[in-house]
Chains A and B, each alone.
Chain A
């Protein structure tokens, strides 16, 4: 994945990804908003003709963003694993 961290402050991160769209942006941003230590999360597609995505996440003071991000990802993966199990057994 063509990923670049375009800004990283103490409790804020801006991640820029080329070649991804709402599929990943909305997924990460909405899941991040459900995380208790996230203050703000959103995504935007800066230009419709450029294949570029920007995700912004702000966490509470003193919290490690990296940890929060891997927890977000784990949560999504758990749901997907659950989804797969249901699909395989019910259909």
Chain B
């Protein structure tokens, strides 16, 4: 296996991966979306809400605010244990982080409460962005609430998913049959390609090598060519993996956690088969 980093910043990762079976890459991708845990607000206790929004509406908005979760993964109990605790109404410290929100509208215009106004009981778990608006308050409208965040998984609710994007795509192979291509006289594929992959070089059709990975394999060029001179194909066992984080976890951590979870899942599978006596 070989990985080349195409793009890397604190929120995004794009990797060119060679020699990996698709089904394994796909399972890793699915685990990233649905099973890597993060922190998110799950229960809200309102002591005062005279704003124009219903309690449920505000609670939902709070749930969708990404919270920093890297340290929380080690500090707090697993999603399954904490879910049970919440069901029994036990908001214990080994599961829950408390975030307080308070605000009152004044005479001068509207007051906006932002994610940054949430006061957290654990500095390791705080909103990733401070400028997400939660609610607007007019004169004398008031909000007082306690929100409880816990670890959870994307399969339970998308608010716990650490990624906004996790995709893999094929690596394109574009083949031009030069003896059939009319080049300058025709230009049809150059004009029609939505990703602007083709160009003319010395009167001949050429592929912009730095853009080839942008090709979506849409095959519009194939269809547009009157002379059947283009074939679009893809490489076997080579993929481009794109991860965009919500900010709750760094992309590398998401990937490593996903691999770990998948490994545990498979161990669990084989252990269960041993218990059933299928595997000795």
Contacts and interface: CB of A to CB of B under 8 A. Distances in A.
A binds B: yes
B137 to A, nearest CB: 41
13 contacts: A1-B269, A5-B276, A8-B278, A17-B269, A24-B27, A24-B269, A27-B27, A70-B270, A80-B24, A83-B20, A83-B24, A87-B252, A91-B255
A28 to B, nearest CB: 7
Given A26-B27, A69-B279, A87-B255, A3 B269 contact: yes
Contact of A70 (B3, B34, B279): B279
Nearest to B260: A84
A73 to B, nearest CB: 5
Contacts of B275: 3
A73 B270 contact: yes
- Where chain A touches its partner, the secondary structure class is helix
Interface in B18-64: 20-24, 26-28, 30-31, 34-35
Interface of A: 1, 3-5, 8, 13, 15, 17, 20, 22-24, 26-28, 30-31, 34, 65-67, 69-70, 73, 76-77, 79-80, 82-84, 86-88, 90-91
B3 A26 contact: no
A90 B3 contact: yes
A27 B270 contact: no
Among A5, A22, A87, the most chain B Cβ lie within 10 Å of the Cβ of A87
B130 interface: no
A80 B267 CA distance: 12
Given A24-B27, A79-B21, A91-B252, A69 B3 contact: no
Given A86-B3, A91-B5, 7 more contacts: A3-B269, A5-B276, A15-B273, A76-B266, A77-B263, A82-B1, A90-B4
B21 A83 contact: no
Contacts of A1: 265, 268-269, 271-272
